[in-house]
Structures are given as C-alpha cells and as structure tokens.
Amino acid sequence: MRNIADTINRLNGQRSLAKPTWTKSNTRLGILTDFGSNPGNLLAWTYIPKTFQPGSPLVVVLHGCTQTAADYSDGSGWSELADKYGFALLFPEQQRKNNPNLCFNWFATEDTTRGQGEVCSISQMIEVLRDMLSIDPAKIYVTGLSAGGAMAAAMLATYPEMFKGGAIIAGLPYGSASSIPEAFDRMRGHGLQEGRVLADRVRRASDHQGPWPSISVWHGTADRTVDPLNMEAILGQWRNLHEFQQAPIAGMVNGHPVRKWSDTGGTTVVEAYTINGMGHGTPLQRVGAHSYGSPRPFMLDVGISSTWHIANSWGLLGNERTLVVEQEASAASQPEREPPRHANRSVSDVIEDALRTAGLLK
C-alpha cells in the first residue's frame, strides 16, 4: 500500500517533470504584517488592485501543497480578475517549518479548531484586512486547491459567519481526518462518512446557526491524488447543512457536467463541476472568452476557467455576469448520476468501491 510520503513524492515529481515558462516571484503581492497573534505561524500576502474601492469584496485564496502564494496568484488568474473588477485578494501562505511540503495542515485538530492554529491565523488576517480596506463584510469569499481546498472547507466550517461563499477544488470535506494516516486514507477515498455525519461536524465547529455559506465544488475525474469520492462527500456535507433533498438541475458547461441545487428563491447555493479527464489541479482555460491564468504544475488547461466561473457565481464580475449552465430539457426529471470515474482504475479499486457501496467496507 502506498503511504503519504509516496503521494508527496509524486506531487514533487509532477512539478519537476513540468517545463513551465515562468519564474517565481512575490513582486506582484504585498506582505501583510501585524495581523494578530498568528497561532498558526502563517505568512499573509495581499493583492489590492488600483481599481479597488472601499466596500468592495475580498477573496481569500489558499494554495496547494508544494505551492506558494505567488504560484497560485499568477497561475490561477485571480490577480488578473481582481485588476479588471476591483476586488481585493488575500493569499495566506504556509511556511516550510510548519509543513515541509508547504501543505496547509487541514487534517490537524489543532489547526482546524476555531480559535486555534491555522484557521485562527487566517481569520485574523481577514479581520485586519477587512477593517483596513473597509471591505464589505457581506462580500467575503474563500477558495483553495487540494490541501488549500480542504483548508477552505475548514474555514467555512469554523468561521461560517465570515463568508458569503466558498469554492473547493480537488479538496476534502471538513472533519474527515484528524491524523496523517487518516488524511491519506481519505485522499484515496477510503473511510469517508455519509453527509449527515459530516454536516454535524460542521455544525459543531462553531456556535453559528445559519444561514450557511454557498459552496462550489470542482474535481477532475482522473484525479489520482485526491479521489473524486471526496467531491461527493463534500456535496453530501453541504447539502445536508442546507437541507437539500431534491435532485439537482443538471447541465453542461464547456463540455463538462454541472449540477446545481437552489434555495426556495431560486438562488444557487450548492454547485458541482465534474471536469472530464482532468487530473489533480485547478482547471484553466487559455483560449477564447473567460481565459485567465497560466498553465504550470497543478494549473491545468482543460478548456474551462474555474476562477472565472467561481467569481461569476459570487457576483464579482458586474456586467460580464452571464448564464453559465445550459440546462438540458430533461435534466430535472432525471435521477442524479454518479460522476464519471477514471477509466484506468484497478480491479482492487473497483472491488473496494463495490464493498463500500454494500456497506461491507468503510
């Protein structure tokens, strides 16, 4: 059986095999200091565009393992969008002395409990920047990739009152692991609990009683680092929080399946983008309309910009906001389908899935 070190080595190997035409630099970002007690010992970088006005939104962006804030800023295209639409960006950054692979410690209880560790540090950054820039407190959002996506889930759970919405890319549900061995099991899709159990962990993470933030979940069907079963676990967690029992409205965007659940007023509150054939990374689009970011390790040009679509769902794009789901005429009457799985799964994986479905394996 592979261990967690094998997974990290594979991530580092993917970086070394890639041949990016970029250089790492924090020159575009500014450092934020003196933001509180910082119990998680994180760094904080910001990007405040010249077009920023008081009362504008704030987006908190969390990088993945082996990445830096500058990597994610440049690769994802969030800074490009901020320039165009005038919202502020906050990039918390892990330090190697906290985690040698620069992963946020999304599985550590001491870093994912309200008032403690890394989640507390990020909340302090948000509070200081919100007051410093006169950010609209009703327009604060969080997103992240992989370990950053799992930490975004932790922020939404432990400080839900801070956020209007969140987006999790190739991440994991809050409260699904509390140790490195458990983290590795969950990354493989093993031991994930049902939605109502996971939802209760979010409810117990703070004294918040609702309303809950909206959620956008993105995952590639060929992700061999974080199994796509985690996408379904996140959806189960947040659908239970929002008490959605109905089937989603389904459609296609740029050739990829999308599912959306709406509240009684017709506002989309939970959505899921399943990216066909994509491995582990953030979906980018480099040709045509809505092209932002630049391909590099874990920034994958798959013909759809997650950054643009997430910002659009949050209402950050002003007049550019458009309808992004082409509803299929019969979608509402169709039962919800299991998202596509990687075609090259092993026989043992298939057997494990069958046993888990039958309730014989957790």
pLDDT tens by residue, 153-184: 999 999 999 999 999 999 999 999 999 999 99
Residue 263 is which amino acid? Answer: D
pLDDT value at position 9? 53
4-357 architecture in CATH? 3-Layer(aba) Sandwich (3.40)
pLDDT value at position 290? 86
299 pLDDT higher than 90: yes
Residue 165 token pair: 């919405």
Strand-pairing partners, residue 284, are 301
pLDDT value at position 28? 86
Lowest mean pLDDT among 107-111, 176-180, 286-290: 286-290
Active-site residue numbers? 146
16 pLDDT higher than 50: no
Q: How confident is the model at residue 245 (pLDDT cuts 50, 70, 90)?
A: confident
- Give percent of the chain with pLDDT exceeding 90: 76
Residue partners of 289: CB distance under 8 A and separation at least 6: none
Residue 257 token pair: 């399946």
Lowest mean pLDDT among 123-127, 167-171, 351-355: 351-355
Which ranges of 58-111 does DSSP label H, i.e. alpha helix? 69-76, 78-85
pLDDT value at position 251? 97
Higher pLDDT, 346 or 231: 231
Residue 115 is which amino acid? Answer: G
Alpha-carbon Rg for the chain, nearest whole angstrom, is 19
pLDDT value at position 58? 98
pLDDT value at position 8? 52
Distance CA 301, CA 277 (A): 12
Read off the pLDDT of each residue in 92-101 and give the average, rounded to a whole number. Answer: 97
pLDDT value at position 287? 87
The secondary structure element, H or E, covering residue 254 is none
Q: In 3D, which of 106, 122, 110 has the Cα closest to residue 44? A: 122
Residue 70 token pair: 């500058």
Q: How confident is the model at residue 318 (pLDDT cuts 50, 70, 90)?
A: confident
Cα-based distances in Å from 218 to 151, 273, 280, 325: 15, 5, 11, 15
DSSP string spanning 158-172? HSGGG-SEEEEES--
Q: How confident is the model at residue 358 (pLDDT cuts 50, 70, 90)?
A: very low
Q: How confident is the model at residue 27 (pLDDT cuts 50, 70, 90)?
A: low
pLDDT value at position 80? 94
82 pLDDT higher than 70: yes
Residue 216 is which amino acid? Answer: S
Residue 334 is which amino acid? Answer: Q
User: Rounded mean pLDDT of the chain?
Assistant: 86
